[in-house]
């Protein structure tokens, strides 16, 4: 079986947890390591949450490294209103006995990419601060990446603001560096992010499994439904991981994309030039820093959901 060698960058995060559970357990993913960053909550809490998820996944020792404590320029702006005071649904789970890797996030990224015998797919699902720092610290290593599949941005509306998606809005300068890196980028943004979901019925189904990962997933789903008063809740960041290994389930198009780093109301917006070719030729835009990005616009929701449930719960029918 051909495996995808993968590194995740997270701000765990309820939906990051869904993604980590999946990546740690899917047989076609060789999860090399996880880097943590300031985002949904502070980086130390992100580390604690991530180690707990790896425990629940029954994962082997996967290195988890500490990354940036704040965005490149702006201040930290947490999403506790969505993810809870601890950033992961306030489940009251005991701390993990796993230890954080002694290397910094950028050092771990360097070592894992250099040591990998296969090209590595990097899947950031958090503000892009770590990735921008890595690109600046180790550009030659970064060139060895196979590609970046990131959760972030939007070709339509925002969520953190009317214009901007949370991960890009949290650190637009970092996002601009990553988008302009020249590394092939697939953007899994708000155009699809909310669509794969889980319901209370799904949680009840997971509860029937004796597997601790399924039990943990059920607890997360129930807590998220209760917190947000909505069902289904999104599997969120998980979709980016799914698209990295099952691109055939996703519809993408390549657009010129610019990250707005102004201080105006569009700060953090990913401006996607979706105009027809003849219009672009008539009116060339001034998106001088535009990057050519593969943008995800649609997906097979049912198939993507089933992929997650069947990976988390081997008994899922």
Question: Could you list the residues that contact ligand BDR (CB under 6 A)?
Answer: 13, 15-16, 40, 79, 82, 125-126, 151, 159, 165-167, 236-237
202: left (phi over 0), alpha (psi -120 to 50) or beta: alpha
Which of 78, 316 has the CB closer to Ca ion? 78
Of the candidates 70, 73, 137, the residue with the CA atom closest to the CA atom of residue 103: 137
Of the candidates 57, 63, 138, the residue with the CA atom closest to the CA atom of residue 99: 63
Contacts of 250 (CB under 8 A, 6+ apart): 188, 192, 243, 296, 298, 299, 300
Residue 200 interacts, among Ca ion, ligand BDR, none and using kind-specific CB cut-offs from 5 to 8 Å, with: none
* x/- track of binding to Ca ion for residues 236-255 (CB under 5 A): -x------------------
Which of 126, 178 has the CB closer to Ca ion? 126
Q: Choose which of 17, 51, 109, 126 interacts with Ca ion (CB under 5 A).
A: 126
Residue 165 interacts, among ligand BDR, Ca ion, none and using kind-specific CB cut-offs from 5 to 8 Å, with: ligand BDR
Residue 298, strand partner residues? 251
3-state secondary structure of 103: coil
Q: Choose which of 16, 55, 222, 260 interacts with Ca ion (CB under 5 A).
A: 16
DSSP string, 275-295: --HHHHHHS----TT-EEEEE
| Residue 107 backbone dihedrals phi, psi, to 5 degrees | -70, -40
Residue 166 interacts, among Ca ion, ligand BDR, none and using kind-specific CB cut-offs from 5 to 8 Å, with: ligand BDR
Q: State the nearest-atom distance from the C-beta of 129 to ligand BDR, in Å.
A: 13
Distance in angstroms (rounded) separating the CA atoms of residues 227 and 237? 18
First to last CA, the chain: 23
Q: State the nearest-atom distance from the C-beta of 266 to Ca ion, in Å.
A: 22
Cβ proximity of 18 and 236 under 8 Å: yes
Which tokens in the block code for residue 245? 């290994």
Which of 63, 152 has the CB closer to ligand BDR? 152
Q: State the nearest-atom distance from the C-beta of 189 to ligand BDR, in Å.
A: 8
| Residue 125 backbone dihedrals phi, psi, to 5 degrees | -135, 45
Q: State the nearest-atom distance from the C-beta of 301 to ligand BDR, in Å.
A: 17
Q: State the nearest-atom distance from the C-beta of 299 to ligand BDR, in Å.
A: 16
Which of 16, 260 has the CB closer to Ca ion? 16
Cβ proximity of 265 and 305 under 8 Å: no
Q: Choose which of 46, 82, 105, 125 interacts with Ca ion (CB under 5 A).
A: 125
Which pairing describes strands 4-10 and 120-124: parallel, antiparallel, or unpaired?
parallel
| Residue 232 backbone dihedrals phi, psi, to 5 degrees | -70, 160
Q: State the nearest-atom distance from the C-beta of 176 to ligand BDR, in Å.
A: 17
Residue 189 interacts, among Ca ion, ligand BDR, none and using kind-specific CB cut-offs from 5 to 8 Å, with: none
Q: State the nearest-atom distance from the C-beta of 294 to ligand BDR, in Å.
A: 18
Q: By CB under 5 A, which span of 22-30, 58-66, 121-129, 203-211 interacts with Ca ion? A: 121-129
Binding site for Ca ion (CB under 5 A): 11, 13, 16, 125-126, 237
């Amino acid at each position: 079986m051909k495996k995808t060698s993968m590194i995740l960058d997270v701000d765990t995060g309820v939906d990051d947890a869904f993604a980590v559970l999946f990546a740690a357990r899917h047989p076609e993913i060789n999860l090399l390591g996880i880097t943590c960053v300031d985002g949904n909550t502070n980086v130390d809490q992100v580390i604690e949450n991530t180690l707990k998820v790896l425990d629940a996944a029954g994962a082997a020792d996967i290195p988890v490294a500490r990354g940036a404590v704040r965005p490149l320029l702006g201040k930290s702006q947490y999403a506790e209103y969505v993810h809870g005071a601890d950033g992961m649904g306030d489940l009251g789970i005991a701390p993990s006995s796993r230890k954080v890797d002694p290397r910094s996030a950028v050092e771990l990224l360097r070592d894992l990419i250099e040591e990998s015998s296969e090209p590595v797919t990097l899947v950031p699902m958090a503000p892009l601060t770590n990735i921008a720092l890595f690109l600046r610290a180790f550009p030659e290593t970064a060139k060895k990446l196979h590609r970046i599949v990131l959760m972030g941005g939007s070709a339509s509306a925002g969520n953190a603001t009317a214009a901007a998606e949370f991960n890009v809005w949290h650190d637009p300068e970092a996002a601009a560096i990553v988008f302009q890196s020249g590394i092939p980028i697939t953007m899994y943004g708000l155009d699809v992010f909310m669509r794969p979901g889980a319901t209370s019925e799904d949680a009840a189904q997971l509860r029937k499994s004796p597997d601790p990962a399924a039990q943990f997933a059920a607890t997360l789903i129930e807590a998220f439904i209760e917190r947000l008063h909505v069902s289904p809740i999104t599997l969120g960041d998980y979709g980016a991981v799914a698209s990295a290994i099952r691109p055939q389930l996703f519809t993408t198009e390549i657009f010129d994309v610019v990250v707005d780093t102004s201080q105006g109301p569009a700060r953090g917006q990913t401006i996607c030039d979706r105009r027809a070719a003849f219009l672009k030729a008539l009116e060339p835009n001034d998106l001088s820093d535009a990057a050519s990005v593969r943008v995800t616009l649609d997906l097979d929701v049912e198939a993507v959901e089933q992929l997650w449930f069947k990976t988390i719960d081997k008994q899922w029918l």
